[in-house]
Amino acid sequence: MKNLYLVAISLLLFSCQQQRVEVQHDKAKTISIIKTNLEAQKLAWNAGDIPTFMEHYWKSDSMAFMSKTGVRYGWQETLDAYKAGYPTQKEMGTLEFEVKKLDILSVDAAYMLGSWNLERDTLDVGGHFSLIWKKVDGQWVIVTDHTS
């Protein structure tokens, strides 16, 4: 009976440890996916392709983009604003991101802090951003973007 009790406790502890390893693995995979998505955004921007850049945003009227001009809601509205603000590839410049922090908050939510820089012929600009990423329909997308 004592041996059966020890076996049961051992199995319980092993299964708890196994779940923790799987969660850590999932976090590492999630971090990799999100960073890959951010890199894809950078490449699309630097190719002058704003629609592809926007593919990593949530295609919803509830998506929020906040900047010094205020809060804008909606994927289409954000796409239109990017197109109006950056009508040519020359004005888009070359984008670089630096991720300062990426926290996986849950199995379907993450928080990212970073900086951005646009190198242009005329005037370089840059700032900071905070992004809330959410897993929607199996894809990690930006649901809230605060860029300054």
Query: pLDDT over 90 for what percent of the chain?
Result: 82
Sorted by where each starts, the structural domains of the chain and their CATH numbers stand as 2-147 (3.10.450.50)
Per DSSP, the residues of 100-127 read: EEEEEEETTEEEEEEEEEEE-SS--EEE
Record the pTM.
0.83
What pLDDT is stored for residue 4 in this prediction?
52
Q: Give the residue with greater pLDDT, 7 vs 115.
A: 115
From the list 34, 19, 18, 55, the residue with the least C-alpha distance to 104 is 34
Q: Is the pLDDT of residue 119 over 60?
A: yes
What pLDDT is stored for residue 18 in this prediction?
45
Per-residue pLDDT reduced to its tens digit, 50-107: 999 999 999 999 999 999 999 999 999 999 999 999 999 999 999 999 999 999 999 9
Q: Which residue has the tokens 């700032």?
A: 127
What pLDDT is stored for residue 12 in this prediction?
52
Pair 92, 67: CB distance under 8 Å: no
Tell me the average pLDDT of the chain.
89
